[in-house]
Every structure is written in structure tokens, then in C-alpha cells.
Chains A and B, each alone.
Chain A
Amino acid sequence: MSIKTEKELLRFTTCGSVDDGKSTLIGRLLLDTKNIFDDQLLALQSSSERKGLDEIDLSLLTDGLKAEREQGITIDVAYRYFSTPKREFIIADTPGHIQYTKNMVTGASSANLALILIDARKGMVEQTHRHSFIAGLLGIPHMVVCINKMDLVGYDQSVYEKIVDEFRMFSSRLDVQDIQFIPISAKLGDNVVNRSVQMPWYEGSTLMFHLEHVHISGDLNHVDCRLPVQYVIRPQDDAYHDYRAYAGRIAGGVFRKGDKVMVLPSGFTSTIKTINAPEGEIKEAFAPMSISLLLDDEIDISRGDMIVRENNSPQNSQDIDIMLCWLNEKKLQEGGRYIVKHTSREVRCIVKEILYKIDISHLRRIENETSFGVNDIGRVVLRTTQPLFFDSYRRNRNTGSLILIDEGTNETVGAGMIV
């Protein structure tokens, strides 16, 4: 026996409101792909019995903290791992409560795919709008809408189709290219891993088949060369006198040995002499590889600089127009000062202007606002103390994202996507 070690990694996030069966679905995915082990199943059985349940409650599998088990709620993003012969999966399981939108944003920021759950009996609720909007805002390239609890509506095709229509109406105003709909019962396993015999009218793929086959290799930007310099490697060793390698994780594009590159902010140019990867010297490197570059010329380069191609520069400005998700109880005020972390660069900023907030349930702008509360989303303009080198978030999630940090508490208080 042997395993195929070359598999793709798919990161997805699950969103749903309270009681729509999200934890049960994750439990079902793990169980039916044989990713639950005997000792976990045993622990699950005894917890279910203690709660006085007749059958195993799959949702107990995803509760990590004591307070979560006690209160029967999910407080924080939990990460789950499973694999099939085709792919490896990382699930960012995010809580559905309204006050925890910051967790959804966190889970969504690194996801290739968003899995949205809708209770077939209830149809779309406010949380569905909110989650779909955030998935779109965070540029998750793929979305799967699972209409769950089909067993409780008699596997009725018309219920499913009504919700699909309703969702399509709403999502036409969102920025998501790829949306799939699947009718499921997480509790009984219909169309999760195994095809449902109850819904012969559904001809699409099961959830698992879709997760294994959705095309994700185009999700990263391989066009615009961007290497934010993270660290300068300088061995304190005579054998490596004058050795300087510029280390970082490629944020976009393909770098090749011999390429002419330009360093920002200095504007100096040079040529790539060597590309070092973990396995040794390589000829070309692309996102999301962690590499280090040696250049032909001695240039002063430090953390926070960016190496790009001469004929393809990012935008360079101190006025940054962003969509902002506010993550902290302490409000954001117009004129407030924060630390900005963008790629490997850290600068300070002032909130120059709040343009508008968004009423997510109705996708409407609210103008003339002067502050942002926790979970508010809207558009603001920042003025930074030093220029940032960036692309729009739509073009590149790595060079188009930033976080705001409170100077007093050091907490991460805002997530920004550059417009």
C-alpha cells in the first residue's frame, strides 16, 4: 500500500446561522470519509449519552472549548483537517452568531471556497445575507450553497428550487463568480458524501465530489510579480562574506533566474542571480512559495520593501481606499490613529474619511456616519505615514489586504481590503 503524497490543498470555510446543522455537516463529512477515529467516536458516544441523546450527536465533534460544550455554542473559529485520496482539506469552522462576524471574516480570509448552509424549512435568513456578502467581499472564489434538512421538508424539489431562486436574486448583486447549489441532509447523509436515493430529481454532484474537483489552481495571481521582503539573510560567517539573500513568500507572479527586477521604494533595479527554495536552488518561483533571492547588485534592501518587475509595478500611495470590517468593541472614529500591517510593511495611519457603511441585510449604503462599531462593514479612506505598495484586493488578495492594530491595546481591530 502507498499513498499519493502529491495532493492539492483546499481551504474552505463553513458559514451558517444557529441550528442550521453546520456542525452536523462537518461531522458527517468526517464520518463518511472515514476521518473519525475509534477513540473520537467513543468519546462522542459517551458525550451524547451524557446529554441524554439516543443517537450520536455529530455536532459535538467540533466543539473545542469547555464553554462551547457547556453552552452548546461555538465561540471561536476552529480548524478541522481531513483528507480523501484526491485532496487534503482544511475547514475553518466559523460560528454563526451575529456578534461573531469577525470570526467569519477571519475564516474567509484564507479560504478558496465558502460553504453556506440554509435550513430548507426556513429559507434565507438575515445571517445568510450577511455570510454570503462577506464571502463575496473577502473574494472567496468559489461558493457552495447547501440547502440542508431536506429530510424535514419531504425531499421536496419545489422547496429547494424556491430557495435557489431566492438566493440567485440576492447573489446577482454580490461579487462571486462560481456558485453551486446542493440539496442535502447532513443528519442522514444525503448528497454529502453519498448520493441521495431520496432526491432522484437532483442531477448535480454531491458535496464531496464538488469539494474534490472544484478547480482551484487559478485562484492565485501568477501574473504580477510581487515579493514583499520579509527578512534579510546575512550569515555571520566568513565563508559567506557579503552574502545577502532577500527572503519572503511570493505574493504574486512568477520570478525567474535572470529576471530584471526593481526594488520599492528605492526604485533601484538589478537582476536575479539565484533563487533559493527549501529544497535548494531553483530556476523559477511562484506564489505561495517561500524563497530567498540573491541579486547581482548590492542594493540596500530591508524588511518592508517589495521586489517587483520593472514593467509591472503595484500602486504606490499614502491615501488608501479600503472596504473595512471592524472587529473590535472599541469603535473606530473618523480621525482615529492606528498601526497598519500590509504585506511585510508596518506604518501608521489616520482614518481620513468614512465614506459609507453598508446595511448588509438590504445591501444598501448608509451615508454620513462618523464611527464604526464591532461587525460594521463599510468604505473608508486611510492616510498613511509612509506609502504602501499595493494592488486592488480583487486583483491580488496578498497585496490588497491589510489589518489595523490599536496602538494602545495591540489588538487587531480592523480588516481592510483595498478597493
Chain B
Amino acid sequence: MFSYNLDHLKELESESIFILREVAAQFEKPVLLFSGGKDSIIVSYLAKKAFYPAKIPFALLHIDTGHNFQETISFRDKWVEKLGTKLIVRSVQSSINSGRAHEESGPYASRNILQTITLLDAIEEFKFDAAIGGARRDEEKARAKERFFSHRDEFGQWEPKNQRPELWNLFNGRKKIGEHFRIFPLSNWTELDVWSYIQRNEIELPSLYFSHKRDVFERHGVIYGYADFMELLPDEKVKKLQVRFRTIGDMTCTGAIESNASTVNEIIDELLVSRVTERGSRIDDQRSENAMEERKKSGYF
């Protein structure tokens, strides 16, 4: 007898599409948080499939730190046009200008934490009741505790010790006015699953993920892409290296790796022998052992 079996990528794809449709059915005004990184690209790609041939029934929201890679922004605009969806951009710079956020200074300055303020303000401004993100449980230990449907109180806070149990395929998105949900359709995907899916479906990605020559400098073993708003320490020098990025955040918190991998296949080969996790090059996680948990509790992505 023919066996009815889905391989793991198809099972994950089916699960994520189920979640996205559930969001559209249960919430009045969802939004998809789009960073221009591979995970949010996959979520929007899956959303396109989930509602085809109709348009994606929610907008994309980009929280722009103002310190993004130029490649990310141009990819974003092209991608959104292809999807045919609406893009909303809210910038950390305006939060700073209006006095809602206070900029860090010095060589270690990052706008990473400030994004939370801009994000929560945007959620309130548009009355979004569900914000869909690309976070995966395998990325980080606090994220391993996340639900698919993750409740946020009226202050946007996460209460990890008292989460709603999530059973079978039954997702409870009920909430009071002013509260919202964060939704993570890629919860069960690993980094390798994401790349295998990109390979199988030939999904376009920003050039940053592929090997290229770039002006960089090194700090505490991390390779940073250089931009003129970044302050160097006395012994740091800008040099040219052949690099690529494994994750794409803002320039101040994303480290590059030296690599010659210039195709998806080469990246997968590189991942298979890699001995360092994806977020090993994320400076935002290394501020302390609880860095991600603390940020998530206060409303971060």
C-alpha cells in the first residue's frame, strides 16, 4: 500500500500555513513584522501561499533602526512590491526625536533595545491585535519557551512563567481590549530547515547572506560591517574581508563570518560543518546570560 507520508519540510510548511490562516481567522487586525531577514522573508512567502490567490490579508511592518544595511532596505522594497502587500515603516529615529526613546552613545551604542519602544508604539497606533514574527525556538534559550500564540498584556509584556498551555492544533487567541498576541509560525523550524526550504523553493534573499567583499572591523572576536555612524575604539582598524552574514539585524548588533559561500547550496554545506550557532554572532544576545529573556519580557520581537 502507498504510504501517506509528508517529509519534515512539508510538515513544517503545512503547520506554518495553518498558523497563518488561524491568525487571519481569529484576529481583527494582524500585522507581519518584517525585518528583511531570511526568517521574516519565509513567513511572508508562506503567507502568500496560505491565502493564494487572494492577497495576504495583513500589512507588513518594518521597525527601522536607521542603522540597517542598505542591501536590506532595497531588498525589502523589491520584495514587498512582488508580494503586492502594504508596507508600514516606523523608525527608531522618530522615537528618539520625539523623546520616546533615548539613544545610547559611545562605541558600544546600539539601537537594538530601542526597537521595542517603536514597535509597541506602532502596535498601539494601528491597534494591531496580533503581530506575526519569524522567531524560531531553536535560536535561543528564552525563545525555546515560546508558544505559537504568545499572549502580551496591555503593556506588551511577556510573562514566561504563566503562559497558556498550547494543546494539539487548538490555538487560543482570546484576549481583552488593549492586549495583543505575538504569533510565531516558524516556531518549530531550525536554521537548517529554513535554508533547505529556501533551496527547495528557490526563494530570493538579500545579497548580505552570500559571500562578498566588505569594509569591516573586528571587536572581541566579532566581525562588524563598517558604516560611518559607527565609533571605533583606538586600536580598531577598518579592513576588507570576504564575508557573509548568517543573521541580519541592525549593523550594530550583527556580526559577519568569513566565508566564500556564494550560493544556497554552498551555505547549506557550510552550515553542516559549522560548529557555532546562528546567534553566536549576535552581539545583542551576548550582553548577558538573560539578554533575550529580559528583552522579550518587555515586548521585544
Residues of A bordering B, CB below 8 Å:
1-3, 5-9, 37-40, 43, 47, 63-67, 69, 75-81, 83, 87-88, 90, 102-103, 105-106, 109-110, 217, 220, 222, 230-231, 233-237, 240, 243, 247-249, 254, 276, 278, 286-290, 303, 327, 339, 341-342, 344, 397-398, 401-403, 405, 410-412, 415
Contact = CB atoms under 8 A, between A and B. Distances in A.
Contact of B190 (A40, A81, A405): A81
Interface residues of B, number: 68
29 contacts: A5-B7, A6-B7, A37-B276, A37-B277, A38-B276, A63-B141, A64-B144, A65-B160, A65-B161, A78-B141, A81-B137, A88-B190, A88-B193, A106-B166, A109-B168, A230-B18, A231-B25, A233-B51, A278-B17, A288-B14, A289-B14, A290-B15, A290-B18, A290-B50, A303-B25, A398-B168, A398-B169, A401-B170, A412-B164
A217 B4 contact: yes
Given A8-B8, A233-B51, A344-B25, A411 B164 contact: yes
B160 A290 contact: no
Contacts of A5: 7, 9, 196, 199-200
Given A3-B196, A40-B277, A88-B8, A403 B160 contact: no
B172 A405 contact: yes
B175 interface: yes
B211 to A, nearest CB: 17
Q: Which 9 A-B pairs have the closest CB atoms?
A: A9-B8, A235-B54, A410-B174, A39-B280, A290-B17, A6-B7, A64-B141, A290-B14, A109-B167
Q: Per DSSP, are chain A's interface residues mostly helix, strand or loop, or mixed?
A: mixed
Contact of B167 (A80, A243, A415): A415
B295 to A, nearest CB: 12
Contact of A66 (B54, B170, B175, B290): B290
A276 B196 CA distance: 22
Nearest to B187: A79
A402 B52 CA distance: 29
Contacts of B137: 79, 81
Given A230-B18, A410-B174, A288 B6 contact: yes
B54 A397 contact: no
B170 A402 contact: yes
B198 to A, nearest CB: 11
A403 B277 contact: no
B144 A78 contact: yes
B99 interface: no
Nearest to B278: A37
A230 B25 contact: yes
A283 to B, nearest CB: 13
Interface string B1-45: 001111111111111011001101100000000000000000000
Contact of A80 (B7, B144, B272): B144
B275 interface: yes
Interface in B103-136: none
Contact of B174 (A3, A64, A405): A405
B215 interface: no
B4 to A, nearest CB: 4
